Amino acid sequence: MVNAFYPKTLVQALQAKSENPSLVPYAGGTDLMVNPKEGAQFLFINGIAELKEIAAAPGSLSIGACCTYTGLLESKKMPGVLHRSIIEIASPAIRNMGTVGGNICNASPAGDTLPPLYALDARVRLASVRGTREIPLATFILGVRRIDLAPDELLVSVILPGQDFTQGYYKKIGARSAVAISKVSFAAFKKVEGGVVAAIPMAFGSVAETVVRSPEIESALIGKTPEEVRATAEAVVQMYDPLIKPIDDQRSTAQYRKKVCLALLADFLSGGG
Amino acid sequence: MQSARNFCHFTGSHSICDPVIKVDHHEKMGGSAVYIADMKMEGTIGAGVLRSTVSHARIEKITYPKIEQGYAIIDWRDIPGSNELEVAVSRQPILAEDIVTYIGQPIAIIAGPDENKIKEYIKQVRVEYTPLPAVLTLDDATQVMNEYGYSRGDVDAAFAQADQIVTETFRTGYQEQAYIETNGVIAKYEDGAVTVWGTLQCPFYVHGAVTQAFGLPEDKVRIIQAVTGGAFGGKEDYPSLISCYAALASYKTGKPVRMIMDRREDMRVTTKRHPSRIVLSSALSAAGELTAVKVDTTLDGGAYDGLSTVVLQRALICAAGVYNIKNLSVRGRAVVTNTVPTGAFRGFGAPQSFFAIETHMNHLAGRLGLEPLDFKRKYLARQFDPTPTGGQYHDPVILTEMIGKADEFSDYTRKHKAYQNQTGRYRKGIGLSLFLHGCGFTGSAERDYIKSVVHLLKHKDNKVEILVSITDMGQGVKTTFSKIVSQVLGIPLADVVCSNPDTRKVPNSGPTVASRSIQVVGRLLEKAAARLKEEWADGREQLIEEHYMHPDLIPWNLETFSGDAYATFAWGVNVVEVELDTLLATTRVTGAWGIFDVGTPIDQKVMQGQMEGGMLQGIGYASMEKMESVNGAPYQNSLTDYIIPTAMDTVNFHTCMVDNPYQNGPFGAKGAGELTLVGAAPAYVAAVENAAGAQFHQIPLTPEKIMEVIA
Amino acid sequence: MIEFTLNGKPVQVDCGPSERLLDIIRDRLGLTGTKEGCGEGECGACSVLVDGRLANSCLVAAGSIMGASVLTIEGFRDTERYKLLERTFACAGAVQCGFCTPGMVMAAEALLSHNPRPTEEEIREAISGNLCRCTGYNMIVDAILTASMEGGGLW
C-alpha cells in the first residue's frame, strides 16, 4: 500500500497511522536515518502543509511539528531564546531537514529545543482519528526517549503561550562551536512587572533524564525584586543542586556538567546574560 | 587572480615557489576524481571482518552459522603463504590463530554478495573464549616492546648540585587521524596473481605484505593507489592488513572483493597516535641555570608493535626539544597493552615529546620568575652544536630570526606579560612554542633499507613521466614533483605527467612517510631531470634512473642511540592566542601564527595548506580531540563523538616561511609534512596557562580538565 | 517507485522508500562525486542540494524526496557559478585530498544562492557542517569569500 507511506494531508496521515500503528513517522529523518531500525516502515509526513504552519493567535503561537529548524529561523515569529537554541543545532544541512517535532519526540536528554520550550511552558497538540488532545510538553516527555504518544497518534504542533518577558538567557555548551551534541544547556526568562519578578522560568538540559524545571523553586522567587533575586542566588543554586543529576559519558563528566550548569544559573540570577 | 586576503608569505624568493593550479585540482573539485569507493568493477562482492570482542583470550571454539552458496569464510588456515604481517621490524598475525590480544582483532573474514547478509552472519558467529589477564592501561603495562636510552654529560652530578629539582609528569591521549575518506581496498585474485587497488600511502609496503601472505613471486602481485582522501599516517601500515583480507577473500571466492571500511569500524580498530606518559625532571642551579634534564617516556603501543619501535625512536631523539642541554638523560619504552595497536600519525612521536618539553620549560621559567621566551633563549641549539644524540646541527639554525618574526606578527612578548594581570570572566592568553622535526627516516634507513629509486620516462612525444612510489594524499606531491621536473627541464608543467603509483610501473622510491617525499625523492627527481636535460634527445623514448645517495653524516648507531639521527632538521615557532571563559572553562582560539623553516617551499600555496592544516590538527590534539579507552576499546569511536575542529572553531592563521635553503634538498627544500603539526599543541596549552594563571600537564586539555584546575 | 528531479532531469528509481539518497545517487545512478565519509550526518561529504537547500544525503530517505529537486556536484559543475568557484578554490589553494571538496562546493552554492555577499562569519557557519581534515578551512573560506566578491551577479 504505497499511498499509506506518503499522506498528502494530516487526515490521511492519521488514517494510515491508525491502520498501521507500527509506521514510523518520518519528518526530517536526521535522527531516524542515523541508525534505521531493521524493517522499519516510514510514514512520510515531511510534505504535509498543515504540519508546517506557524500561526500566531492572540495569546499563543502554534508551530507545526514538521517545521524545519531553518524554517523556524527564517520566520520572524520565534521567541529570541528559542531562536538562539535552534541556530546552535548541528549544522546548516541538519537544520534544513530536522524538525522541532522530531526533536521533541526523540526526547533525548540533550535535545536542544527542549529547555527553551520547557521554559516557555510549551504545550503539545496530539492528534489521532479519535480526536485531538493538548498537554504540557513537560508531561508529554516521560523519560529518556519515552513520550506519552499513543501508537495511533501524531504530534501535530507545539503551542507557546504568548508571554512578555523582560529578559531571556540561553547557553549551550558543546565540545565545539558547531555540530555538537549539548553537554549542558540552560534556558531562562525573567519577567519583571512593577519592579518585582512576575515569572522566572528556568530549564536545564542534558543534566538529567529529562529537562529539569522546578515550579516550586521558581515560585519562591516570584514577588522578589531583581536585587533580592541576585542576593539569594547562592541559596537558589543550592536548591537546584539535588535536581541536577548529570552522568559521565563520552562527551563530558558529571562533575563538569553540574558545575557549569549551576554556574550558568548563578550567572542568570545575578543579572548576567 | 588574487585571493581575498593573503596571510602567508615567504621571506625568500624563487620562481619555483610561485603557486600553480594543482595538477589534480579539476577532477577533485568537480567530483570526477576516482577514490577507491568510486571505482566501478564488475562482479565485486563484499567482505566483513569477524573481530574479537574481548581484550585478551584464548579462542576455544568458533561456531559459524550455516552460510549460503556464494558466501565464504576465510580464517588463518586459508592463508597460502605466511600469516605474518611485517611492519617495520615487527610482526603481527594477519588473522588471529588461537589467541586474541585486543578488542577488534580480526579473527576471520566472511565474504559474499550482500553486505547486510555478511553483517548478519558475523553477528551469528559464536566464539568461545577463555579470558586471559588483560592489561588495559599504559600505567599497568609491564611488557615492553622495545626500549632505548642515551645520555650525555654528567646528569647525576648536576642533580646532586642542584638548587631545585622540578619533576613533572605529562600525559597525552590518543589522536585519531580522522581522514574524511575511510580505509578501503578492492582486491582481485586471478590466475595466480593478486591486484589490489586502495587508498594508501605506501604501495610497496602493501606489495610486500600481500606477497608474503600468498607466498607469491614479486611480479605476481600488483598494487595500485587510488586517489586518496587524506591519510596522515593512518594509511601507512593499516592498508597492508586490509589488502590481505580482501585478497584472501578473492582467492577463496574467485571474485573481486571490495572492502570499504565503515567509519565507526575504522575508528575502533585502525591505528592511531600513541598515548604517552612523559616524566621530565630538571635540575636548576642556584643561579637559575638549567643544568640537567632527565626524560622518561612511555608510549602505549597497543597489542602489537607495528610502528611503535620507530615512533619511540623519534620521540626520544627529540625529547630535549630545540635545546642544547649539556647534561641530559633520555630513556623510553613502548609498552604492550591489550588495546588497539597504535601507529603513525603526522609527527610520529614528536608531538608527544614537544608537548612535554615545551610545557615543562614554560613551567621552569615560571618557577624562576622568568618569561618563558627569556628562559628558553639561553638554551637554543645553534648551528654546529651537537645534537642530543651526539650528531651535529650541520645546517644553519635560524630560530632567533624566526622567534623575532613570531613576536613581531603576534605581539607575543607584550601580550604574554599583559595577560598575566586579568580579572573578569573572559581572559585572554597567548602561548609560544619552539620545535623541530628531523627530515626523513631516522639514521641510515634510507641507505640501508629503503634505497630509493626514481624513474623519469621521456616519451617519444617529449612528455616526461614521473615514475615514483610516492603517493599524493592531499599534500600535493604530484604537483610539487611535477614542478621540480618541469623547472629543471625548462618545459611546461602540462608536459609533465605524474600518475598514482602502480607497483608494476614504478620503482620503489620508498614509502610516503617521515617527511621524506620532497627532500629525498624530490631531490632524486631533480637530479634525474638534470641528467635528462643533458641527455635530452627529441622524439626518442628515454628512461633516466636515479638512486639514493646517502649524505656524509656522523653515522647513526641504533644500539648506542648515537650519531646523526637525521640528515637535517626543519624548524618551527608557533604562537596561539585564546580567550578563556573562566565561568565555563571553555576556550576560543582568537589567533594563531606559524613561522616555519622548511628550506625553499616548492609551492607556496601547497605549503600554506600544510601549515594551516597541520596547525589546526595540532590545536585539535591539544583541545578537543578526546579518545579514551574504556574497558579496552575506544570510547569516542564516531565522528559524532570524536570531536575535530569545524570551520567555526578556528580563525585566519598568519603563516610565514623563512628563507634557509637546504643544500641537499631540491631547490633547497626540506621535509615539511609533519613539522606543521608538531608545535601547535604546546603553544595552545601555554596560551590557556597564560589566561588561567594555572599549570596543566595533559592533553587533550578539555574544559573538563581545565575546570578541575581553575575551579 | 521513487520519482524526483536530479540535476534538472526527471528520474525514476525502483527502490525502497527508506533507501538513502546517497546510495541512490552513487550506486543506482552511478554519480560518485558525492562521497560518504561517516554515514551519520556529521562530516558533510555527502552534501547535496534538495530544493535548493543543503542536505546530508546519507540521512535523506528516498521516500522523503518524492517530487523534490536534487542537485549534485555533477549537476552543478556545468554552471558559470561553479567555474568561478573552481578558479577561486584553485587560487586559494583550497583543495588538498579533495574528499570534502564536492560537499564544500555544494555548501558554497547553498550559501551564495541565498546570501550572495556573506561575511566571513557567515561563510564559516555555512560550511560548519562540512568537515575538512587537510586544509584547516581558512583557505576554503578565502575561496568562497573571493567568489562572492568577484561573483558579479552570478548569485
- Contacts B–C by Cβ distance under 8 A: 192
Query: From residue B541, how far is each of B461, B481, B495, B505, B546 by CA, in Å?
Result: 8, 20, 14, 16, 17
Residue A38: closest C-alpha in chain C: C18
Query: From residue B32, how far is each of A16, B28, C73 by CA, in Å?
Result: 43, 6, 9
Domains and CATH numbers, chain C: 2-75 (3.10.20.30), 77-150 (1.10.150.120)
Number of other residues whose CB lies within 10 A of the CB of residue A38? 7
Cβ pair C17:A30 closer than 8 A: no
Cβ pair B263:C37 closer than 8 A: yes
- In angstroms, the separation between the Cα of residue C154 and the nearest Cα of chain A is 22
Pick among B180, B584, B588, B590 to test the A interface (most A CBs inside 10 A)? B584
User: What mean pLDDT do residues A184-203 have?
Assistant: 97
User: What mean pLDDT do residues B646-657 have?
Assistant: 97
- In angstroms, the separation between the Cα of residue A32 and the nearest Cα of chain B is 15
Chain A touched by C64 (CB under 8 Å): yes
Exposure string (b/e) for B284-302, b if CB count within 10 Å is 16 or more?
A: beeebbbbbbbbbbbbbbb
User: What mean pLDDT do residues B430-457 have?
Assistant: 95
Q: Which residues pair with A161 in a beta bridge?
A: A60
Find the CATH number of the domain harbouring B533. 3.30.365.10
Q: For position B6, what pLDDT does the model report?
A: 57
In three-state form (DSSP H/G/I as H, E/B as E, the rest C), the secondary structure along B631-688 is CCEECCCCCCCCCCCCHHHCCCCEEEECCCCCCCCHHHECCCCCHHHHCHHHHHHHHH
Q: Confirm whether B274 is domain-assigned.
A: no
Rounded distance, CA B195 to CA B188, Å?
A: 5
Q: Confirm whether B378 is domain-assigned.
A: no
Q: Confirm whether B626 is domain-assigned.
A: no
Would the pLDDT of B328 be above 50?
A: yes
Q: How confident is the model at residue A163 (pLDDT cuts 50, 70, 90)?
A: confident
Would the pLDDT of A1 be above 50?
A: no
Residue C45: closest C-alpha in chain A: A93
**Residue C131 C-alpha from the chain's centroid:** 13
- Contacts A–B by Cβ distance under 8 A: 49
Q: How confident is the model at residue B625 (pLDDT cuts 50, 70, 90)?
A: very high
User: What mean pLDDT do residues A54-81 have?
Assistant: 94
Would the pLDDT of B189 be above 50?
A: yes
Cβ pair A6:C128 closer than 8 A: no
Residues of chain B numbered 233-262 and touching chain C (CB < 8 Å) = 262
Query: Which residues, 6+ apart, have CB-to-CB distance to A227 below 8 Å?
Result: none
| DSSP secondary structure letters along chain C | -EEEEETTEEEEE---TTSBHHHIIIIIS--TTS--SSSSSSS-TTEEEETTEEEEGGG-BGGGGTT-EEE-HHHHTTSHHHHHHHHHHHHHT--SS-SSHHHHHHHHHHHHHH-SS--HHHHHHHTTTS--SSS-SHHHHHHHHHHHHH-TT--
- In angstroms, the separation between the Cα of residue A153 and the nearest Cα of chain C is 20
Would the pLDDT of B671 be above 90?
A: yes
Would the pLDDT of A4 be above 50?
A: no
Please tell me the pTM assigned to this model: 0.98
Cβ pair A181:B707 closer than 8 A: no
Choose the closest CB to C56 out of A40, A93, A177: A93
pLDDT above 90 coverage of chain C, percent: 97
Exposure string (b/e) for A172-207, b if CB count within 10 Å is 16 or more?
A: bbbbbbbbbbbbbbbbbbbbbeeeebebbbbbbbbb
Tell me the pairing of strands A131-136 and A123-128. antiparallel
For the record, the C-alpha cell of B677 comes out as 603539526
State chain B's mean pLDDT as an integer.
Answer: 97
Residues of chain C numbered 7-46 and touching chain A (CB < 8 Å) = 17-18, 20, 40-42, 44
| DSSP secondary structure letters along B555-582 | PPBTTTTBB-SSS-EEEEEEEEEEEEET
Q: For position B4, what pLDDT does the model report?
A: 43
Q: Which residue has the cell 528531479?
A: C5
Rounded distance, CA B672 to CA A85, Å?
A: 42
For the record, the C-alpha cell of B403 comes out as 622567534
Chain B residues with CB under 8 Å of A252 CB are 704
> Do B608 and C139 meet the contact criterion of CB atoms below 8 Å apart?
yes
How much is the ipTM here? 0.98
Q: Confirm whether B600 is domain-assigned.
A: no
Q: pLDDT tens digit string along A143-162?
A: 999 999 999 999 999 999 98
Chain C residues with CB under 8 Å of A94 CB are 41, 56, 59, 129
Residue A172: closest C-alpha in chain B: B584
Chain B residues with CB under 8 Å of A259 CB are 707, 711
Pick among C26, C82, C95 to test the B interface (most B CBs inside 10 A)? C95
Q: pLDDT tens digit string along B226-273?
A: 999 999 999 999 999 999 999 999 999 999 999 999 999 999 999 999
Cβ pair B624:A259 closer than 8 A: no
Domains and CATH numbers, chain A: 49-161 (3.30.465.10), 167-269 (3.30.390.50)
Chain C touched by A179 (CB under 8 Å): yes
The DSSP secondary-structure symbol of B430 reads E
Pick among C81, C130, C133 to test the B interface (most B CBs inside 10 A)? C133
- In angstroms, the separation between the Cα of residue A46 and the nearest Cα of chain B is 25
Chain A residues with CB under 8 Å of C61 CB are 26, 29, 32-33, 42, 44
Q: How confident is the model at residue A3 (pLDDT cuts 50, 70, 90)?
A: very low
Pick among C99, C104, C140 to test the B interface (most B CBs inside 10 A)? C99
Q: How confident is the model at residue B710 (pLDDT cuts 50, 70, 90)?
A: very high
Chain B residues with CB under 8 Å of A251 CB are 641
Of A160-164, B31-35, B51-55, B516-520, the least confident: A160-164
User: What mean pLDDT do residues B15-26 have?
Assistant: 97
Q: For position B2, what pLDDT does the model report?
A: 43
Number of other residues whose CB lies within 10 A of the CB of residue A74? 10
Residues of chain B numbered 12-31 and touching chain C (CB < 8 Å) = 19, 21-22, 24-31
Residue A97: closest C-alpha in chain C: C55
State chain A's mean pLDDT as an integer.
Answer: 95
Q: pLDDT tens digit string along B399-414?
A: 999 999 999 999 999 9
Q: How confident is the model at residue B456 (pLDDT cuts 50, 70, 90)?
A: very high
Domain range for B497 is 445-547
Cβ pair B583:A176 closer than 8 A: no
Choose the closest CB to C17 out of A5, A90, A178: A5
Chain C touched by A24 (CB under 8 Å): no
What 3-state DSSP class applies to A98? coil
What is the count of structural domains for chain B? 1
> Do B150 and B351 meet the contact criterion of CB atoms below 8 Å apart?
no
Q: Confirm whether B179 is domain-assigned.
A: no
Q: How confident is the model at residue C69 (pLDDT cuts 50, 70, 90)?
A: very high
- In angstroms, the separation between the Cα of residue C97 and the nearest Cα of chain A is 22
**Chain B adjacent subunits, 3+ CB pairs under 8 A:** A, C
Q: For position B5, what pLDDT does the model report?
A: 62
Would the pLDDT of B581 be above 90?
A: yes
